Structure 1
Amino acid sequence: MTHGPDSVDSPVDAALLERVLECLRVQPSGLTEHALIGQLRAAGVEPFAGARLQEPLSLFQTHFLLFHCLYRLRDHLLGQGEWVSIHCLDIGIERASGGPGAGAAGLPAHRDPLRTYYLDLTQLERMDTAAVEALLGEFWLRLGRDQRREQALAVLDLADPVDADTVQRQYRRMAQRHHPDRGGDTATLQQINAARWVLLADR
């Protein structure tokens, strides 16, 4: 499989990409990142099966590698008229509507800053535990204000207009639902925390 010209050489082999694609084909309508990782672990797919998800650094590495695979699959499947939707709460395959080189919304794939981030493996290589803890807030700040808000609204399953009280109520509901002590996962909870602060800071 090939990937975009602006991505670095990847050690991820075609066999691993095929295993991820197999899981997506089983549920093309979509599944969460947590569920997809769970399927890969249950199937014994390395390095996901051996990941220590209770450790922040290993959790980040698992998340990054999965999204790296997803963006490479998106680039590959675009040539077949398919689009991989990539979001921590909704990952799936749909028909591309914008023609060659465009995503489901008709936007060129290479304009996606998340794609640039996840295809750059130096982002993964430079991370340690301390950097992981500081990553999320810094990452969101690198995105443009409008895109940052759009991503945050999607994470919290909200739509504008929203006020601070609505944001806080929805945050509490989702944080309780996705807390690791209740069967959720740390990565999703971190996304929820970051989304709350993005929306509150925008007011």
Structure 2
Amino acid sequence: MIEADETTGAPVAAALLEPVLECLRARPSGLTEHALIAQLRDQGVEPFAGARLREPLSLFQTHFLLFHCLYRLRERLWPQGEWVRIHCLDIGIEPARGGSRPRAEGLPVLRDPLRAYYLDLTQLERMDAAAVEALLGEFWARMGRDERRDQALAVLELADPVDADTVRHQYRRMAQRHHPDRGGDTATLQRINEARWILLAGA
């Protein structure tokens, strides 16, 4: 199923490009990654038809291969005046806009790290079950850090982006307001202290 691209030497899942493109053409308004995989599965397109999406490794492989195809299709369709939107919640084809190369996620395509990642099939080949589990662990740890940061910002009545000086200034202002000597309470002051350290650690 995976063959070499004679032009670039990069491996390409060439046999999958047309089925993916057909699904996108059939849904001009776009669809989610889950819906696209379901369509490919229902059409019997391998490896999507046999994917075991409850298993982390199979899920990762399915996701990676689909996004590899989407980035390949983006490169194919762009010279024809079409742009492939690539996001897990919004995949579709639309007319390319602007005189220069279109932008994805607000950044020029040539600087898009996701493009480079998904076009490199060695990334897929080196991922085994243990590596996927580690990747998921990092993801959930990052989610936990992000949630703690959001809570800390709320305690200090701040919103991103903030720098360390802003955090310190707001901390002093709120610590004075909620200090027990000024009618505040110790529990609130402790939350303010904790929020300061969380934000300064990530600043």
Q: Same fold (TM over 0.5)?
A: yes
Following superposition, the deviation at residue 164 of structure 1 comes to: 3.4
1:164 corresponds to which of 151, 162, 165:
151
Report the alpha carbon displacement of residue 103 of structure 1 after superposing the two structures with TM.
Answer: 3.3
How far did residue 55 of structure 1 move? 1.3
Task: Tell me the TM-score normalised to structure 1 length.
Answer: 0.62
SS state at 1:52 partner: coil
**1:57 and 1:132 in contact (8 A); partners too:** yes
Equivalent residue, structure 2, for 1:128? 128
Total equivalences in the alignment: 148
How much does 1:110 deviate? Answer: 1.6
8 Å CA contact retained: 2:104, 2:112: no
Which structure's relative contact order is higher, taking Cα pairs within 8 Å and 6+ residues apart? 1
Cα RMSD, aligned residues only: 3.5
One-letter code of the match for 2:50?
G
User: Among the aligned pairs, what percent are the same residue?
Assistant: 72
CA distance in 1, matches of 2:26, 2:89: 17
1:73 matched residue in structure 2: 73
Q: Does 1:41 align with 2:41?
A: yes
Equivalence map 1:1-203=2 (5 Å): 9-13=10-14, 15-99=15-99, 101-103=101-103, 107-136=107-136, 163-164=150-151
Q: CA separation in 1, counterparts of 2:133 and 2:82?
A: 35
Q: Distance in 2 between matches of 1:104 and 1:47?
A: 27
Q: Structure 1 residues 134, 98: CA separation in 2 closer, same or farther (over 3 Å shift)?
A: farther
Distance 1:117 1:87 in 2: 14
Residue pair 1:84, 1:91 contacting (<8 A) in 2 also: yes
Question: Residue 10 of structure 2 aligns to which amino acid in structure 1?
Answer: D
Instruction: Give secondary structure in 1 for the equivalent of 2:49.
Output: coil
Deviation track 1:141-187 (CA, whole Å, cap 9, x = no partner) reads 9xxxxxx9xxxx9xxxxxxxx953999xxxxxxxxxxxxxxxxxxxx
Alignment-mate amino acid for residue 127 of structure 2: M
2:166 alignment counterpart: none
The residue type paired with residue 117 of structure 1 is Y
| CA distance in structure 1 between the aligned counterparts of 2:34 and 2:9, rounded to whole angstroms | 26
Structure 1 residue 115 displacement after superposition? 0.4
Structure with the greater alpha carbon radius of gyration: 2
